[in-house]
Amino acid sequence: MIEASITYKGPGMLASVLRSRTIWFAIALAVLSVLQGFVLHLPLSPWGQALVGSGIAVAIVILRAVTTQPLAEK
């Protein structure tokens, strides 16, 4: 069984989180999703959706490959 725990480690932890490229990518992806859904509403063909989805997946893989340490150690 996989267990995870999150503990608050003070203001330094927030600074560590904000140094994470993966966190910034997640924030940007969330903002883009909200804009797409409510503001921009760009019509994409299924082919375009596939390309965007593939691009996001590739970006996540790249971010994982360059991640060298956990947030708690940043």
pLDDT per position in the chain (74 positions), as tens? 566 555 656 667 777 788 888 889 999 898 888 877 777 777 778 898 889 889 999 999 999 898 888 776 76
Torsion angle of alpha carbons 62, 65, 16, 55, nearest 10°? 10
Distance CA 55, CA 53 (A): 5
| Residue 31 covered by a domain | yes
Question: What's the burial of 45, exposed, middle or buried (CB within 10 Å: 0-12/13-18/19+)?
Answer: exposed
| Residue 18 covered by a domain | yes
pTM: predicted TM-score of the whole model, two decimal places: 0.67
Q: What H or E segment, with its residue span, contains residue 56?
A: helix 46-66
| Residue 25 covered by a domain | yes
Q: Which residue range forms the structural domain that includes residue 43?
A: 11-73
| Residue 40 covered by a domain | yes
| Residue 29 covered by a domain | yes
Domain count, the chain: 1
